[in-house]
Structure 1
Amino acid sequence: MFLALLSMFGLSIASALLPFLPIEAFIIGGAAANPGTAASIALGVAAGAGATIGKVVWYEVARRGISSSWAQKKLSAPKVKAGYERWTARMEGRPVYAGAVMFVAASVGLPPLLVMSFVAGLLKMPMWVFLPTVLVGRSIRFSLLFLGADFAFH
């Protein structure tokens, strides 16, 4: 079981960084090879933790990249700057709102979490809001997928 958890953790990091690697395919295989409710939940949490690490990378790329000359040039366009300022105003000082948006993206996938991770970094969402909402949302999502696949296979 330890190897399955470690593999799912690593695969979910890769999937979070590379959107063309669908973690759902690995979840189906993992559920088939590791039956049971406890295994499904453990694998879901391992996948959620790995996905969170991958999304933190996207968050940091955006957070650090916003001060680059390329990003500042893009932000000099009035329409882009207005949108950036509007979203910054919505998120700043409203950790519950920001957390709710991230939780929905992490658990449901709408808006896509990869995009929202990048946006969260651009808007400099506090890490204390970003990290737990993504971890809990992804862990719930993946655990439910594992449980569904386990139910279908066994």
Structure 2
Amino acid sequence: MSSLGEAAVALGYGVASALVPVVNAEAYAVVAGQRAGHALIAVVALALGQTAGKLLLFESARRGSGRLARAVAKRGTSGRAAVRAARWTESIRRWLSRRRTALPTVLVSAAVGVPPLAVVSLAAGTAGVRRWEFVGACLTGRVIRFALLLLPAVLA
């Protein structure tokens, strides 16, 4: 496959894996590493696709955060579960609302996977993280993650 074709497939796979949890971008990165000629292209395109997909989650949370809060409040969950969910949500949101902790959290989540990047993307959207900062931290972390996954296959 040509490098342009490989980039297009990796980009599409990255977007799909960002939005559909059962589509595994890490597995694709390892398989792409077997073809060392296009490994760098696959890493960058996969990271761009993942970042684009997570940006969709980020933007949907940012634009719909008021509606989501109202829907959760109306639903009336059980007492203990509601308190626990509110406490967890508020602490994550506080963590992401501070500039000095928000970007490192997004970067670590994108590179390591803990906390899950999908959750961090949604929380960052509601916490007021700047779009370009989110994209930069997410893209950097994803490139690091996929490059480290690919490294053993490329060096072998």
| Same fold flag (TM > 0.5) | yes
- If each structure's helix is expressed as a fraction of its own residues, which one has the higher value? 2
Closer, same or farther in 2 for the Cα pair 1:2/1:123, shift >3 Å? same
Mapping of residues 51-90 of structure 1, within 5 Å: 51-68=50-67, 69-73=70-74, 80-90=85-95
Match of 1:48 in 2: 47
For 1:28, the aligned partner's letter is: V
Inter-partner Cα distance in structure 1 for 2:54 and 2:90: 23
Inter-partner Cα distance in structure 2 for 1:125 and 1:134: 12
Closer, same or farther in 2 for the Cα pair 1:45/1:96, shift >3 Å? farther
SS in 2 for 1:67: helix
Match of 1:125 in 2: 129
Inter-partner Cα distance in structure 1 for 2:145 and 2:153: 12
Inter-partner Cα distance in structure 2 for 1:25 and 1:90: 31
Q: How many residues align?
A: 148
Match of 1:106 in 2: 110
For structure 2, which runs of at least 5 residues remain unmatched after alignment?
77-81
Cα RMSD, aligned residues only: 2.3
Inter-partner Cα distance in structure 2 for 1:101 and 1:45: 21
Match of 2:120 in 1: 116
Inter-partner Cα distance in structure 1 for 2:152 and 2:42: 13
Match of 2:24 in 1: 22
The percentage of aligned residue pairs carrying the same residue is 33
Closer, same or farther in 2 for the Cα pair 1:141/1:73, shift >3 Å? same
Please say if 1:2 is aligned against 2:7. Answer: no
Inter-partner Cα distance in structure 2 for 1:89 and 1:12: 29
